[in-house]
Amino acid sequence: MTDYYAILGVSRDASAEEIKRAYRRLARELHPDVNPDPASQERFKEVTAAYEVLSDPQKRQMFDMGADPLSGSAGFGGFTTGFDFGDIMDAFFGGQGQRGPRTRTRRGQDALIRVQIDLPTAIFGGTQELAIDTATACGSCNGAGASPGSEVLTCTMCRGRGEIQQVQRSFLGQVMTSRPCPQCRGFGTTIPHPCPECSGEGRVRTRRTLTIAIPPGVDNGTRIKLTGEGEVGQNGGGAGDLYVEVIVTDHPVFSREGDALHCTLHVPMTVAALGRSVTIQSLDGDEVLDIRPGTQPGDVLILRGKGAPRLRGGGRGDLNVHLAVEIPRKMDDTQSGLLRQLADLRPDDAPRLAGLDPETSGGLFSRLRGAFTQR
């Protein structure tokens, strides 16, 4: 039995790339257009037959098991009928062209839509009904693309291969190249009577209503993935995914930073001075706040666990209540008189620069003034 490995000059464990390189080198040396010597032509046929066997995994396996895949065929007398001239082009030029007909079935594209929700829905979750325009399977042809009662036919030009071959002259002689069939565009089949509803695509664009679940804790920019709810593919192809991007509208009372909520509570100066328990309306319902005597403007009271849920890690953030102490702009004579009495009872209450101790500020300025006057 002929040793095809020896003909190409490669070892029995040679890789496919090594076999291709060996054949390319020998073919360029022995091709009849390059070397017209009859002995070289016979050698070229042997090299080509060896490459036919060793480049095909099934034929190579048969040969390694002791059988000659070319027995009973044209053998070394010429190219065998099962040998594809495209393999020669691949060996010379490293071609990676796709063989065989292309499928009409294509997966649908993913889709993205945006939905607006209010802050309570973002905090506690809920459902949202969406009207979306996407491609759905054609109900008339059931995705086949052919008009009802007609069929998808095998292309008569390429006979279902999806490609046609042409013989061209090159410096190596006549070589055969392949290109997509112009009649079926490489699909191998034709649709003589396309479906009038979908024009042969197997899908139509329609509006449908979809109810989605909003998980608790979503925020601006959060995307919810709905598998298989996107565009339906061509000619019965699977659907893509639908991504819903959340947009949270502004709330008149509460703002959000991460998992924390913030609000501002306006407190009269008498309440800030004397303290009081007040009830506020949070997103969870009524909450009691204890305002301590002597509360200052800008103080923050924290309600633990009343903020936004954490999408990862569980639990909830806090609600931060910022206190704004209100000073009355107008008072009647009675109110003004009472405040004057209070001011008389607190003689130390005087304006001062921040950072100065009220008990020592007078002595400090006196020492500074004395220091300058002594000079």
pLDDT in tens, 215-252: 999 999 999 999 999 888 888 888 899 999 999 999 99
pLDDT of residue 356: 61
Report, as an integer, the average pLDDT of 59-85: 58
How is the chain split into domains, by residue range?
4-93, 255-326, 333-373
Residue 120 in this model has a pLDDT that exceeds 60: yes
Q: Which residue has the higher pLDDT, 40 or 317?
A: 317
- Report the CATH fold assignment for 4-93: Helix Hairpins (1.10.287)
pLDDT at 52 over 80: yes
What is the CATH code for 255-326? 2.60.260.20
Using CB atoms within 10 A of its CB, is residue 194 exposed (0-12), middle (13-18) or buried (19+)? middle
225 beta partners: 243
Which range, 97-101, 188-192, 284-288, is most confident?
Answer: 284-288
Question: 4-93 and 255-326 share one CATH topology?
Answer: no
- pLDDT tens-place string over residues 288-333: 999 999 999 999 999 999 999 998 878 999 999 999 999 888 989 9
Q: Which of 78-87, 181-190, 258-267, 309-318 has the lowest mean pLDDT?
A: 78-87
Cβ neighbourhood burial of 47 (10 Å; 0-12, 13-18, 19+) = buried
pLDDT, tens digit (0-9, with 9 covering 90-100), for 178-224 = 788 888 888 888 989 999 998 888 899 888 899 999 999 999 999 99
pLDDT at 78: 35
Q: Give every CB contact of residue 135 below 8 A, 6+ residues apart in sequence.
A: 108, 203, 204, 205, 206, 231, 232
pLDDT value of position 105 = 84
Cα–Cα distance, 269 to 246 (Å, whole number): 41
Surface-to-core class of residue 262, CB atoms within 10 Å of its CB (0-12 exposed, 13-18 middle, 19+ buried): middle
> Tokens 């325009």 sit at which residue?
133
